[in-house]
Structure 1
Amino acid sequence: MAWGYRAMFVLLDTYKRRHGCDTLRQMISRYAPPVENHTAAYIDTVANRSFVNPDSRISTDNREVMIPIVSAMSFVENGVPAVAADVKAGWELFIKYRP
């Protein structure tokens, strides 16, 4: 599971670095576009569960912001809360093996 969470951290970091997505709204709109998803509901759920304003600029280097975001995205994708230890382990792998 940790490697899967690492992949999500890498993906969101790539969205920021390569595509200029620096808000939760921009990242999720790219990840879950409206042509395939209910993007507004996805954004609202992640924002509410992570306590991150969807239009605030975020740093993908900020552990305290990114772990709750990825945990909330996992909840949207799987319908169950993420195991915190797995998400934290994914963060550590992201930091250790940065692209």
Structure 2
Amino acid sequence: MDNKPTPRGVRNNNPGNIDRTAVVWQGEDRSPEALKWEHRFCVFLTPQAGFRALAKTLLTYQVKHGLRTVKEIINRWAPPVENNTSAYVAQVAREVGVGTAEIIRLDRQVTLQRLVTAIARHENGGLFWPGAVIEAGVREALS
């Protein structure tokens, strides 16, 4: 029997492990209970809301910060001071189906969905959500 604890990103409906900031996301739980049990990361009411926030963040990286490759995006998402970023970049690029320095367009549903799926898998040590939930969150982010 597998007694591994449920990953934090799954418990928090936060597949990307987005840090809580002053910005309150659509679908984020800022109740006293959520703030008490989770001190650092956002807690979302649904996994779909968490995927929407992850996708919105990545879209902002591309539009506002000009990050165009998996390597640039992941280096900002998971900086080397906290992560083995080179391994993270390689895994995500492989899952997205591109080279680490290949320019990608996140305004395309399929590319953004592959990217958020790969990040969620890496952040949580597996994929815990059905494709329909991921797709719905990404679609909301793009609309």
TM-score w.r.t. the length of structure 1 is 0.90
Matched, 1:25 2:57: no
Distance apart, 1:40 and its partner CA: 0.4
CA contact (8 A) 1:49 1:68 kept: yes
Distance apart, 1:83 and its partner CA: 2.3
Distance apart, 1:66 and its partner CA: 1.1
SS at match of 2:76: helix
Bigger RCO of structures 1 and 2 (CA < 8 A, at least 6 apart): 1
Count of residue pairs the alignment pairs up: 96
Match of residue 46 from structure 1: 92
Match of residue 142 from structure 2: 95
Distance 2:65 2:142 in 1: 20
Match of residue 15 from structure 1: 61
Match of residue 117 from structure 2: 71
CA contact (8 A) 2:109 2:139 kept: no
SS at match of 1:30: helix
Aligned structure 1 segments of 4 or more residues deviating by more than 6 angstroms: none
Matched, 1:86 2:133: yes
Structure 1 gap ranges (5+): none
Distance apart, 1:72 and its partner CA: 0.6
Structure 2 gap ranges (5+): 1-46
RMSD: 1.1
